[in-house]
């Protein structure tokens, strides 16, 4: 019979078939089990089959699955919004629901643009973002993403974006500078880009607070984001932080920007928000942006059919309640320290592990051909993809990142185990990863 899912079949032809999940383990149709050390792609923060989330979704489904936002709001969407606002960075009392990470980034880009139109600065039309970043696959998100290889074949993209250097301490910090000085150098590079474009021509600087997906995990150096915030304020430029991957508790605080001491103008969240139980994302926005819309045209000119879907909101609300009830943010910090120690034991002297970096339960492992020179392996080897397969053979899911990135290549492995992982499970993860490497 002709399949209506040809693309799906082509892409997934070599994949095992997942049939069930419980805790941090997935089981395939052959009965083989896998430790979900990547949380899918930093999604499954509570693991699989969490009874409280499932019960909340069932209850909502029994009551009401869907009501279009042109006609109604729902109690569960309001409750989720209240919960997210209560725990949001200061001044962010507005939440806009979407169905995933790329949609969250699109909405944030459009919010920023509309804001400047409404305050009479329509000449602002540039975005600045960073190389080695990932913000999603829809056209706007793709344009701000800093991975030339992903963008190239879809040019011309719909918005013009200038890209500057990310925080990549392991490769780019000079031996003769401190981490703080390196951060200042990056801020100076951003300042030069702003001046080149014209400070009154730029809409926003877009960055992942902790980079993921493209180059393993890239953690910011101390003071970097404070410098970025000051620079944006000086030029009236908005700061959009994309925490689709690193947010919602993954790094040990609900929002990763809390650890940087900065509040963005717009903050995107998704992945861990629904914990894999439902697709859902959101943009948290500063009051002044939403106030501007209220006093101006009245509303944000945007919308999707499924925004605020009741079952998705029920899942996200249940995830938040479990995180709060079970003290899981503190647990992420504690388990993160355990994981770091396990990495140190396993890879501290490993000839092909150049760097292990991360926060909380969000870690990247960078592979090198040679530790001393930090030289990468030949990109043709596609080692990151091979390592993913080797790990799967060991019953371990780790997320591969790598290939050619703006002329820079590399092989990285991303780990984002569920917050509920036990110390024994973390030890198993590191043991299997070492075997796979």
100 binds ligand PMP (CB under 6 A): yes
- Nearest Cα residue to 101 out of 303, 279, 278: 279
Q: Are 259 and 288 in contact (CB under 8 A)?
A: no
Binding ligand PMP (rule: CB under 6 A), the pick from 140, 146, 212, 402 is 212
Q: Pick the binder of ligand PMP from 96, 97, 116, 134 (CB under 6 A).
A: 134
* Interface pick for ligand PMP out of 36, 106, 242, 265 (rule CB under 6 A): 242
Which x/- pattern over 329-368 shows residues binding ligand PMP (rule: CB under 6 A)? Answer: ----------------------------------------
Among candidate residues 302, 281, 284, the one with its CA nearest the CA of residue 99: 281
Q: Which of residues 139 and 427 has its CB atom nearest to ligand PMP in the complex?
A: 139
Based on CB atoms, which residue is closest to ligand PMP, 133 or 428? 133
- For ligand PMP, give the closer residue by CB, 397 or 430: 397
Stretch that binds ligand PMP, among 100-108, 296-304, 335-343, 424-432 (CB under 6 A): 100-108
Crossing angle for the helix pair 75-86 and 310-325, to the nearest 10 degrees: 40
Using the rule CB under 6 A, is 102 a contact of ligand PMP?
yes
Which residue from 164, 241, 244, 329 is in contact with ligand PMP, where contact means CB under 6 A? 244
Whole-angstrom distance, CA of residue 74 vs CA of residue 67: 8
Cα 415 from Cα 353, distance rounded (Å): 14
Size of the site for ligand PMP (CB under 6 A): 15
- Write out the H or E segment, with its range, that includes residue 269: strand 266-269
Q: Of 94 and 147, which has the nearer Cβ to ligand PMP?
A: 147
Q: Which of 113, 126, 131, 135 binds ligand PMP (CB under 6 A)?
A: 135
Instruction: Indicate which single residue of 88, 202, 213, 315 sits in contact with ligand PMP (rule: CB under 6 A).
Output: 213
Task: List the x/- string, 190-209, binding to ligand PMP by CB under 6 A.
Answer: ------------------x-
Helix (H, G, I), strand (E, B) or coil at 35: strand
What is the separation, in whole angstroms, between the first and last Cα of the chain?
A: 41
Nearer to ligand PMP, 41 or 112 (CB): 41
Binding piece for ligand PMP, criterion CB under 6 A, among 73-81, 124-132, 240-248, 311-319: 240-248
d(Cα 269, Cα 283) in Å, to the nearest integer? 6
Nearer to ligand PMP by C-beta: 416 or 420? 416
Question: Would you say 240 or 314 has its CB closer to ligand PMP?
Answer: 240
Other C-beta atoms closer than 10 Å to the C-beta of 101 total 28
339 Cα distance to chain centroid: 20
Residue nearest to ligand PMP (CB): 101
Q: How far is the CA of 197 from the CAs of 16, 136, 203, 389, in angstroms?
A: 49, 25, 11, 44
**How far apart (Å, rounded) are the C-alpha atoms in residues 346 and 353?**
10
Strand order in the sheet with 126-130: 94-98, 281-285, 266-269, 238-242, 202-208, 126-130, 161-164
Residues in touch with ligand PMP (CB under 6 A): 41, 100-102, 105, 134-136, 208, 212-213, 242, 244-245, 270
């Amino acid at each position: 019979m002709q399949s209506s899912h040809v693309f799906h079949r082509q892409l997934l032809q070599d994949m095992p078939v997942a049939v069930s999940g419980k805790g941090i383990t997935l089981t395939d149709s052959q009965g083989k089990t896998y430790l979900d050390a990547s949380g899918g792609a930093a999604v499954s923060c509570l693991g699989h089959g969490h009874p409280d989330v499932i019960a909340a979704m069932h209850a909502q489904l029994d009551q009401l699955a869907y009501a279009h936002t042109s006609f109604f709001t729902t109690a569960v969407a309001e409750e989720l919004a209240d919960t997210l606002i209560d725990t949001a960075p200061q001044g962010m009392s507005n939440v806009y629901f979407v169905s995933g990470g790329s949609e969250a980034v699109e909405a944030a880009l459009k919010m920023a643009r509309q804001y400047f139109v409404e305050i009479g600065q329509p000449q602002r039309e540039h975005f600045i973002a960073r190389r080695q970043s990932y913000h999603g696959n829809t056209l706007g998100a793709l344009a701000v993403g800093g991975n030339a290889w992903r963008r190239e074949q879809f040019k011309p993209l719909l918005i013009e974006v200038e890209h500057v250097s990310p925080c990549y301490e392991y490769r780019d910090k000079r031996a003769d500078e401190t981490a703080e000085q390196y951060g200042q150098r990056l801020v100076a590079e951003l300042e030069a880009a702003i001046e080149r474009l014209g400070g009154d021509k730029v809409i926003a600087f877009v960055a992942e607070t902790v980079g993921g997906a493209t180059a393993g995990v890239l953690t910011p150096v101390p003071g970097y984001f404070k410098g970025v915030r000051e620079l944006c304020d000086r030029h009236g430029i908005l700061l959009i932080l994309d925490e689709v991957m690193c947010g919602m508790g993954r790094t040990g605080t609900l929002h990763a920007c809390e650890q940087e001491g900065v509040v963005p103008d717009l903050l995107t969240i998704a992945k861990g928000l629904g914990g894999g139980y439902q697709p859902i994302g959101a943009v948290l926005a500063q009051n002044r942006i939403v106030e501007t819309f209220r006093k101006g045209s009245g509303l944000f000119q945007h919308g999707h059919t499924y925004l605020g879907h009741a079952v998705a909101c029920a899942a996200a609300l249940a995830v938040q309640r479990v995180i709060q009830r079970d003290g899981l943010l503190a647990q992420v910090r504690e388990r993160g320290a355990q994981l770091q120690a396990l990495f140190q034991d396993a890879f501290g002297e490993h000839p092909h592990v150049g760097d292990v970096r991360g926060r909380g339960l969000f870690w990247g492992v960078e592979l090198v051909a040679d530790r001393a020179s930090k030289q990468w392996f030949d990109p043709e080897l596609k080692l990151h993809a091979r390592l993913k397969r080797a790990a799967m053979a060991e019953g371990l899911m780790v997320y591969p990142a790598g290939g050619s990135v703006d002329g820079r290549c590399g092989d990285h492995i991303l780990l984002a185990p569920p917050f509920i992982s036990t110390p024994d499970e973390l030890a198993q993860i590191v043991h299997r990863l070492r075997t796979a490497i």
